[in-house]
Structure 1
Amino acid sequence: MQPQIPSSATATYTTIPISGNDVISRSLHNLFSFISQRRPWPEFISPDTFNRPHSLAHAGDRLRKNAVHFRLNYALLVLTCALLSLIGTPLYLLLIAAIFGLWLVLYLFREDPLFLWGHHVGDRAVLVGLVLVSVVAIWFTGVAGNMIMGIGTGLVISAVHGVFRNPDGLFLDENEAMSQGLIRPGSSPSSDRWDHMLRP
Structure 2
Amino acid sequence: MTTYGTIPTASSPGATTTSSTYLELKKGSKKEALVRLKTNAAYFGMNYAIIILIILFLSLLWHPISLIVFIVMMAAWLFLYFLRDEPLEVFGRTIDDLVVLILLGVLTIVFLLLTHVTLNVIVSLVIGVVAVVVHGVIRKIDDLFLDEEATGLMSTASGGGAASSSS
1:100 to 73, 76, 90: 73
Gaps of 5+ in 2: 1-16, 92-105, 158-167
How many residues get paired?
Answer: 116
Distance verdict in 2 for CA 1:166–1:157, change over 3 Å: same
TM-score (norm 1): 0.45
Deviation, structure 1 residue 94: 3.0
Report 1:186-197 matches (<5 A). Answer: 190-192=153-155
2:53 to 57, 79, 98: 79
Is the 1:62–1:163 contact (alpha carbons within 8 Å) kept by the matching residues of 2? yes
TM-score (norm 2): 0.53
Instruction: Give the distance between the partners of 2:84 and 2:50, measured in 1 at CA.
Output: 20
Report 1:1-200 matches (<5 A). Answer: 47-48=18-19, 49-51=21-23, 52=25, 53-87=27-61, 89-104=62-77, 138-139=113-114, 141-171=115-145, 190-192=153-155
Deviation, structure 1 residue 97: 2.7
Instruction: Give the distance between the partners of 1:106 and 1:86, measured in 2 at CA.
Output: 22
Letter in 1 for 2:58: L
Tell me the SS of whatever aligns to 1:70.
helix
Gaps of 5+ in 1: 1-45, 112-121, 124-130, 172-176, 184-188, 195-200
Instruction: Give the distance between the partners of 1:72 and 1:167, measured in 2 at CA.
Output: 17
Cα shift readout 1:69-106 (whole Å, capped 9, x = no counterpart): 1111101011111112223x141353133221342366
Letter in 2 for 1:50: Y
Deviation, structure 1 residue 54: 1.7
Identity of aligned residues (%): 30
Match of 2:100 in 1: none
Distance verdict in 2 for CA 1:65–1:79, change over 3 Å: same
Match of 1:15 in 2: none
Is the 1:85–1:150 contact (alpha carbons within 8 Å) kept by the matching residues of 2? yes
Q: Which has the larger radius of gyration?
A: 2
Letter in 2 for 1:96: V
